[in-house]
Amino acid sequence: MNEQNSQGRRWIEDLLRRHWDPIGADTRPAEFATFVAEVERLIGMQVRPRELAEYLVRVETESLGYQDSDPKMLVPVARKLLRLNVSSRGGEPAA
C-alpha cells in the first residue's frame, strides 16, 4: 500500500470511529479493518451516499445482528466519507 492509500485509509478509519462504530473498533480490529477496506473500495467506485449507507446497514444487520437499522440515518456519515479525497490522486480530506 502506498503512502497516499495508507493516509486515505487512516482518514476513513478515523471518520468511521467517530461517526459509526457499532462493533467497538478497538475490541475487534480485524473485523473493523475489513469494513474500512470495503468502504475505501466503495469510495473509489464513486458510489452514491445512499449506496454507501446501505452497505453500512448491511454490516449492522447481516454481520452484527442489529434490527431496525435505516440507511437514511447513515446517509450523513456516508456523505462525510465520500467527501474524503482518498482516490489514487491523494490530497487532503474535504470533510
Amino acid letter for position 84: L
- pLDDT, average across residues 66-90: 83
pLDDT for the residue 46 = 93
Q: Is the pLDDT of residue 93 over 60?
A: no
Tell me the C-alpha distance between 55 and 82, whole Å: 13
The per-residue pLDDT for 22 is 84
- Residue for grid cell 447513515: 74
- What confidence tier does 87 reach under pLDDT thresholds 50, 70, 90? low
- pTM for the model stands at 0.82
Residue 92 scores a pLDDT above 70? no
Q: Residue 6 contacts by C-beta under 8 Å, 6 or more apart in sequence?
A: none
Contact 86, 43 (CB under 8 A): yes
Q: Distance (Å, rounded) from C-alpha 74 to C-alpha 68?
A: 13
Task: Tell me if residue 84 falls in helix, strand or coil.
Answer: coil
Task: Domain ranges for the chain, please list them.
Answer: 3-83
Greater confidence (92 vs 9) lies with 9
Question: What pLDDT, on a 0 to 100 scale, did the predictor assign at position 91?
Answer: 46
